[in-house]
Amino acid sequence: MTTRKIKSITIAALSVALAAEIVYIGASKKDSISVFSSSEIPETLIISSDIVKINNYSVPVYEFADRDDLFLSAELLNAYGYSILEDSENYILEHTAETYDLTNTVFTDLSGYTVRDAQKKLLSGSGSHYIYNANSLFVVPVEALYDMSEVIYSDVTDTIYIAIGQQDEVNRNITESYAEITAEGGAETASVLASASGTLTAAALPQFLASSATAAPPAAAQQEQNTPQQTSGSRLIVLDAGHGKSSGSMTSAEFESEGYVKNSSGTWGEWRHWKSGTSDVPCEGSGCTGRAPSGGSCWYSAGNGDRATEPDINLQNALAAKKYLEQMGYTVRMTRTSNDQNPSFSKRISYCYPGNDLSANADASLYVCIHSNAGGGSGTAYIALDGLYDQRGISSTYVEDSNRAGKTINDSIVSNTSLSRSGSGALTFEPELIAFCKSPVPVAYLEIGFFDNSSDLSILKSESDSIGKAIAEGIDEYFNG
């Protein structure tokens, strides 16, 4: 993954006239940036017969009649967790959402749309690209994704395969793409078009595929830590059922009461970090660790958290966990209790403090994020912490405690439900999540099953009580061994 960071940018809403915060990203083909000379001449989009697959799903691709450059709609990329930000000089493509959900998503057919140069370049990873729009509908060259992805191509399948997401997803998707090429008898034609991580090369492709099958869990997750001495009765657990009401349905009053702020361009969201050493001063783009997903910034738009299927799954699991924790004598605070709520991370984290007062000393013992995964895969996992966190209140063993809690709870889910362990159980490529950067107490971040996998979904729907019990037992084991 690229380590580029963008700071201090002003983020503009792209004033989309459709549904809430649809941003349009496009894409071009292979290495044809120079073709994109800035032009005042409007051009008409047509559907391309070329094939582009993102994580092995074919996506609608557009081109101009007289050129072979390829574009994707920003609306599509938005559904894959990408956002386009804007500062005074550029647009900036960033990948912010940890999961994505294409279920029930209908994309605008841009065939016949007349587009013009958007007048600003699009920065993505280390690259700079022309971007086009038709009024507020943006298309982005496919190539813009190359600076943030692993990309392979085969003449035999005549398909560009783009792999995005967490590293284990990327590995799995590249493996599947390669299998498709091999099945068509074109293994020797597979070539690497781009590798944002720098790890995927043509020569290394077979090796890469072999090694991706044997990723090891991080050493920290294996360590035995000291066991806290308190009894369950004096312990306070915050259960955070991830996601919630869609931002497109929220009123300004709701955004405000849920702890969101507007940036200078009128987009609701929040800052990813506190100022270093504080627990209640939003970074506003500086004075913080600056940690963000690859290509990302300190700003997080509320729309990036929108999910269709996941909110209720998470809520049912969290409510079941609450019931069992209370039976064991724990005190539980919920960050939300209905699917009509969608608290900001700052608001969710405030439940770690007495009276939701971020300036007080935290009285919670553990913050448990209850999510479900998507994007192709199966089984249950936790997201591991790693690196620098510098918010007020965390202990010197914040990372180790968090990872041990995540592993213990996830192992309990594997042992006590029909869900399998996803890979090693540890997702190690997203250590910069907002909850990790804002919580004053250890965070167990669970991705329980894949709700876009029909087998997992059926388990999620029929075993939420068992999943909740397993979460409660895992939490108790974390504290009491």
What does the binding site for Zn ion look like in residue numbers (CB under 5 A)? 273, 283, 288, 298
CB closer to Zn ion, 83 vs 417: 83
Answer whether 457's CB lies under 8 Å from 374's CB: no
Nearest approach, Cβ of residue 443 and Zn ion (Å): 18
To Zn ion, the closest distance from the beta carbon of 441 in angstroms equals 20
Amino acid identity of residue 42, one-letter, is: P
User: Is the Cβ–Cβ distance between 240 and 369 less than 8 Å?
Assistant: yes
Number of DSSP helices (H) and strands (E) in the chain, helices first: 12, 22
Shortest Cβ 88–Zn ion spacing (Å): 19
| CA dihedral sign, ordered 381, 416, 450, 464 | negative
* Cβ atoms of 475 and 409 closer than 8 Å: yes
29/273 with CB nearer Zn ion: 273
Residues 6+ apart with CB under 8 A from 179: none
Q: Give me the phi and psi of 62, to 5 degrees please.
A: -120, 160
Three-class SS state of 270: strand
Minimum CB distance to Zn ion smaller for 298 or for 364: 298
Q: Which strands make up the sheet holding 51-54, listed edge to edge?
A: 57-58, 51-54, 159-163, 150-154, 191-195
Longest Cα–Cα distance in the chain = 72
Nearest-approach distance from CB 382 to Zn ion, in angstroms: 24
- Residue placing its CB nearer to Zn ion in the complex, 27 or 298: 298
52 vs 288, beta carbon nearer Zn ion: 288
Say if residues 52 and 88 touch (Cβ distance below 8 Å): no
- Angstrom distance (rounded) from CA 316 to CA 318: 5
In angstroms, give the least distance from the CB of 184 to Zn ion: 46
> Which CB sits closer to Zn ion, 7 or 461?
7
What's the burial of 465, exposed, middle or buried (CB within 10 Å: 0-12/13-18/19+)? middle
Nearer to Zn ion, 141 or 296 (CB): 296
| In the complex, least distance from residue 25 CB atom to Zn ion, rounded to whole angstroms | 23
Q: What is the CA radius of gyration of the chain?
A: 22
Q: ∠ at Cα 69 (64, 75), nearest 5°? A: 80
Question: In whole angstroms, how close is the CB of 94 to Zn ion at the nearest point?
Answer: 13
86: helix, strand or coil: strand
Query: In the complex with Zn ion, which residue's Cβ is closer, 290 or 377?
Result: 290
Instruction: Work out how close the CB of 53 gets to Zn ion at its nearest, in angstroms, rounded to a whole number.
Output: 34
